[in-house]
Amino acid sequence: MANKMVLITGVTRGLGRAMVDEFVRHRHTVLGCGRSQEGVERLRRRFGPPHDFAVVNVAADGEVRAWADRLLGSHGPPDLVLNNAGVINQNARLWEIPEPEFSDVLDVNVKGVANIIRHFVPAMIQRKCGVIVNFSSGWGRSTDAEVAPYCASKWAVEGLTQAFAQELPSGLAAVSLNPGIINTDMLQSCFGGSASSYPSPAEWARSAVPFLLKLGPGDNGQQLTAPGGSSG
């Protein structure tokens, strides 16, 4: 398979970090971001150019714009965009969740996705190809108590992706992806000790990355579930 340029948000931990290893192992170029300076520096030390890692908060439109300007200049448009960065609220009933925490979940999980699309997709449209994968969740298609802000954000990701797919010209595709259930920091936050009985991010990435690499224009608008994660 030809070398692809893969843009991944949220690469410092969890699924994003595991996908970096796997895409690099398959000889693709990874452009990644996260908020943790230490996490980004660790990635830079491990994977030099043409890979590129930067401290970017996807919820900050100006930071995403500057990141896109730089990367589109140095690397050109990505072939695959993985809107993976996400946060979850601390388990609590909706009326107990402080406004800043509610806003943060929506700002990262929904507005972060839109910010990436705003600044990277015009160049992909100009080149007439590319796939955008917006990370959803089982909780983007079902609900549970104590994760209402997270459910609201992931149901929004599903709706945003469907509408966005209807706007794209032929040659491009946008899909939502439920990764399944994987043992990451996020899962430990909502599942506690039982998170350890789920697959590791590295195990998940071994089947999820080949699945992601096969996506193409024919998949536009699909609501997908990745292989490799537990279904619950």
Of 30 and 181, CB closest to ligand NAP: 181
114 part of the interface to ligand NAP, by CB under 6 A: no
| Piece in contact with ligand NAP (CB under 6 A), picked from 44-52, 57-65, 161-169, 206-214 | 57-65
Could you tell me the smallest distance in angstroms from the CB atom of residue 230 to ligand NAP?
8
89: left (phi over 0), alpha (psi -120 to 50) or beta: beta
| Piece in contact with ligand NAP (CB under 6 A), picked from 35-43, 114-122, 208-216, 220-228 | 35-43
Residues 125-184, interacting with ligand NAP (CB under 6 A): 135, 137, 179, 181-182, 184
Identify each DSSP E strand in 36-191 by its residue range.
52-55, 80-83, 130-135, 172-178
39 part of the interface to ligand NAP, by CB under 6 A: yes
116 part of the interface to ligand NAP, by CB under 6 A: no
Burial 122-160, CB ≥16 within 10 A → b, else e:
eebbeeeebbbbbbbbbbbeeeeebbbbbbbbbbbbbeb
Could you tell me the smallest distance in angstroms from the CB atom of residue 128 to ligand NAP?
28
Residue of 68, 57, 178 whose CA lies nearest to 108: 57
The question of whether 198 is a catalytic residue gets the answer: no
Instruction: Tell me if 172 sits within 8 A of 132, measured CB to CB.
Output: yes
Could you tell me the smallest distance in angstroms from the CB atom of residue 202 to ligand NAP?
12
Selected from 43, 71, 97, 187, the binder of ligand NAP by CB under 6 A is: 187
* N-term to C-term CA, the chain: 33
43 part of the interface to ligand NAP, by CB under 6 A: no
The dihedral built from the CA positions of residue 25, 9, 49 and 184, taken in this order, carries a sign that is negative
Cα–Cα dist 179/9, whole Å: 15
Identify each DSSP E strand in 79-137 by its residue range.
80-83, 130-135
Cα–Cα dist 161/222, whole Å: 9
Which one from 150, 155, 164, 198 is the annotated catalytic residue? 150
Instruction: Tell me if 119 sits within 8 A of 64, measured CB to CB.
Output: yes
> Which residue, judged by CB position, is nearest to ligand NAP in the bound state?
14
Of 2 and 14, CB closest to ligand NAP: 14
Could you tell me the smallest distance in angstroms from the CB atom of residue 171 to ligand NAP?
26
117 part of the interface to ligand NAP, by CB under 6 A: no
31 part of the interface to ligand NAP, by CB under 6 A: no
Under the rule (CB under 6 A), what is the footprint of ligand NAP? 9-16, 33-36, 39, 57-59, 84-87, 108, 112, 135, 137, 179, 181-182, 184-187
Would you name the residues annotated as active-site residues? 150
